[in-house]
Structure 1
Amino acid sequence: MKKSWIACLLLQVPALAQAGAPASPKPGVSDVERYARRCQPQSAQRIARPQGTMLWGTRRDWNTEKASGEHESVLVSADLAPLRRAENGVQALRLEGGHLEASPVPRAGTAISGVVGAVLQGSASDGKPVEVAICGAEPSAEDPGMVFYRIEAWNAVAQEWENPCVAVDRDTAPRALAVSGVWDASGARQAVPGKFTFACQNGAITKCVLWGYKPWSCRDGQSMTDLHQACTRMARADYCGDGQSHTRQNTTIDIYDRLGVIQRTVTTSREWDPAKAAFEAAWAPDGATCISRTRDGRALETVLQECPHRFQAGAVTDLGEGERCTVRRTDVSAGAGLLRNLSYAAPQSPVSPGKGP
């Protein structure tokens, strides 16, 4: 029996984070002191700072007093080599499927565990360098070849090592997956030799992996890379394929695809009622191929204005099984989408933070 899931998107409403960061950076610390302070035990209590619909699942800026856009991130990529610092003779890392491996393998430990303690060179969305420390590696119970990492990045504003992943009520100490490729501000994935993405649990990149679209795997001889990329567009309702999301917090949707990784849900449960849902859109790696309705309730005309000449309105396209588009792409077939989704009508008022499945 094929797997069927309801995907519950826990997407945060854009808001300014709580104030509290220093107005100017503290005096710098030496390399010896900085590296000695990485990966220290952390308190179980964390302050959640919801930052909006997330691609990477990371903070937008270290300065909590700064208003930042959803295209910004304190960490968008990391380099496999050279390492800024490592333990037990490790000189470089390599990405194998859903996990990192140390090279050479340390005498004590394994190639997977040997990555702990390494400090990598990373980059923020503005191109500035940022150091990233791997503080823990925990293989997934469902897939031992996929490893969750507890990471810390050097906050040059506070002069402290901090978890760059956004914490919310469900995940107060979120971890990250190591995913091949680098995503830019437009939400496009690019294969960059020697670089990868630390994708946090609360971002679309990791959510799509957990829903079954592992970009390093294949199904029926077809790579899952494009399916995963299409999922990141769908998860954030990025219709135009420009990185702009069109969704609200705690939006529940139903996802299904052409390969049968996830099938359309036909039974009613506490989380989902198919009778109350309607077809929303079909999705390709670069955005929607056709749209029937918007997820957050805004008029379709608004989307057409955001990306003029991309969609054509007025001609109804029937995809079968009751799925009809009122807006379709001008450059590709409406039926070329790899994924489709259903959604409820947008709520009249935003859902309060922290609620939802």
Structure 2
Amino acid sequence: MTVVMTVCGGGCEDVAFEDVGGGEETRLRALHDNGVELNGTRFNGTRFNGTWFNGVKLVGASIGQGAAKSSLTGWSLVPGTSELQAVGNKGVLYRGEALEGARLHWLADDGGKELVDVQLKIVAVTQSADRPDIYFTDIDFRMNDGKWESVCTDGEGEPTSAIVVPGYFDTATADWLPGEHGELAFACRGTASAKCLEWGYRMWAKHGGISLADHYRACTRMVRADYCGTNVAHTENGTPIDVSDRLSPAILEPETDWAVEAEWGPHGAVCLNQPRKLTHSRAAVVAECQAAGRGVLPTCDAPGVHGLLKSQAAPS
């Protein structure tokens, strides 16, 4: 049996171990590291969460050079996936890897201060081996005539991929919203917005006939320990949690005997025992949620309390 553990130092990574005789290691295969970032580390201010790479409509694009150069319009996602597609000259459809090298160009409003010449370049597109409806897109950008940089970086500041998703992230509430006009947003790998997709809670998908959009929202709250649904995190990067759901069949099932921390809905925790970080007491979090108008959070053994997702943790 292959066991996956989360190892954290300067950053976090999943490390696989082979179990040959049973024991403690076999109970750790479903652990997931959590964290406090929703949209990545590079763009947490106006540029990422404002008008640039969140809820953007891609325009002014081209691919190729010289006589082979083609304009690209009609940007969208292939239905049921995170694979980008666009229409070129004479109705030619470009999608996925065929878009590598495409460049996009527009004038962006830099927080109402000035117009900035923004360019994007699709560097690479890779289909996930685990979930074939997920595509990892490496995207570089530059402002005016500056140097090219990756839109997404990991916890070490190294370039990483984005998962392009429909809609946008509400920067005040940290909620995902589907959008109404073909908007697209970038979820950077390693952040809550992308982790929940890779764990299986893709907002565009259905499971057993049930839309996973609310499971996705619940997951992003859970990863960040946003108990009150107010965009306030109560965790630290790399804290392990055991994640499971009530779907049939389940996407993730519990794999430890850790205590139940909380159950989760799209607007935060629906019940809470001991928060995963001992620096936060249950009483303090309950008071915080009451002050935010969420009412009293019951404990998770209260009758009739059920969330979409459940987190188990060894408080630390």
What TM-score range do you get, normalising by the shorter chain?
Answer: 0.7 to 0.9
Q: Matched residues in 2 for 1:74 and 1:244: separation?
A: 23
Query: Residue 303 of structure 1 corresponds to which residue in structure 2?
Result: 285
Equivalent pair of 1:227/1:338 in contact (CA under 8 Å): yes
Distance 1:58 1:251, change over 3 A: same
**What per-residue deviation string (whole Å, max 9, x for no partner) do you get for residues 140-188 of structure 1?**
22344321111123256x932211323235x833111111121112111
Question: 1:178 aligned to 164, 167, 170, which one?
Answer: 164
Query: Residue 305 of structure 2 corresponds to which residue in structure 1?
Result: 334
**What per-residue deviation string (whole Å, max 9, x for no partner) do you get for residues 217-276 of structure 1?**
1111111111111111111111111111111121111011110111111xxxxxxxx34x
Q: Matched residues in 1 for 2:97 and 2:91: separation?
A: 11
Question: 1:59 aligned to 42, 45, 69, which one?
Answer: 42
Equivalent pair of 2:59/2:104 in contact (CA under 8 Å): no
Q: What's the % identity of the aligned pairs?
A: 27
Q: Matched residues in 1 for 2:109 and 2:309: separation?
A: 30
Q: Matched residues in 1 for 2:176 and 2:191: separation?
A: 14
Query: Residue 7 of structure 2 corresponds to which residue in structure 1?
Result: none
Equivalent pair of 1:60/1:74 in contact (CA under 8 Å): no
TM-score normalised per structure 2: 0.73
Instruction: Report the 3-state secondary structure (helix = DSSP H, G, I; strand = E; otherwise coil) of the residue aligned with 1:93.
Output: strand
Structure 1 gaps of 5+ residues are 12-52, 62-67, 266-273, 321-332, 347-357
Query: Residue 54 of structure 2 corresponds to which residue in structure 1?
Result: 77
Q: What are the equivalent positions in structure 2 for 1:315-354 lying under 5 Å apart?
A: 316=299, 318=301, 334-335=305-306, 337-346=307-316
Query: Residue 104 of structure 2 corresponds to which residue in structure 1?
Result: 119
Name which of structure 1's ranges 252-261 and 77-86 shifts more when overlaid on structure 2: 77-86
Name which of structure 1's ranges 78-87 and 238-247 shifts more when overlaid on structure 2: 78-87
Q: Matched residues in 2 for 1:127 and 1:176: separation?
A: 26
What is the Cα-based RMSD across aligned positions, in Å?
3.3
Equivalent pair of 2:218/2:264 in contact (CA under 8 Å): yes
Instruction: Report the 3-state secondary structure (helix = DSSP H, G, I; strand = E; otherwise coil) of the residue aligned with 1:91.
Output: strand
Q: Matched residues in 1 for 2:295 and 2:309: separation?
A: 18
Instruction: Report the 3-state secondary structure (helix = DSSP H, G, I; strand = E; otherwise coil) of the residue aligned with 1:229.
Output: helix
Structure 1 or 2: more strand by fraction: 2
Query: Residue 135 of structure 2 corresponds to which residue in structure 1?
Result: 147
Give 1:344's aligned amino acid: A
Structure 2 gaps of 5+ residues are 1-27, 65-69
1:293 aligns with 2:270: no
Question: 1:280 aligned to 239, 261, 271, which one?
Answer: 261
**What per-residue deviation string (whole Å, max 9, x for no partner) do you get for residues 91-140 of structure 1?**
23111222111213889995223332232659799588754332211122
1:262 aligns with 2:239: no
Name which of structure 1's ranges 107-116 and 172-181 shifts more when overlaid on structure 2: 107-116
Q: Matched residues in 2 for 1:76 and 1:286: separation?
A: 24
1:204 aligns with 2:192: yes
Q: Matched residues in 2 for 1:345 and 1:164: separation?
A: 34
Instruction: Report the 3-state secondary structure (helix = DSSP H, G, I; strand = E; otherwise coil) of the residue aligned with 2:159.
Output: coil
Give 2:237's aligned amino acid: Q
Query: Residue 32 of structure 2 corresponds to which residue in structure 1?
Result: 8
Q: Matched residues in 1 for 2:262 and 2:62: separation?
A: 46
Residue 5 of structure 1, CA deviation: 5.5
Question: 2:151 aligned to 152, 155, 164, which one?
Answer: 164
Distance 1:262 1:134, change over 3 A: same
TM-score normalised per structure 1: 0.66
Equivalent pair of 1:90/1:106 in contact (CA under 8 Å): no
Query: Residue 195 of structure 1 corresponds to which residue in structure 2?
Result: 183
Q: Matched residues in 2 for 1:106 and 1:59: separation?
A: 38
Give 2:286's aligned amino acid: L
Instruction: Report the 3-state secondary structure (helix = DSSP H, G, I; strand = E; otherwise coil) of the residue aligned with 2:216.
Output: helix
Equivalent pair of 1:94/1:103 in contact (CA under 8 Å): no
Q: Matched residues in 2 for 1:251 and 1:122: separation?
A: 40
Name which of structure 1's ranges 158-167 and 238-247 shifts more when overlaid on structure 2: 158-167
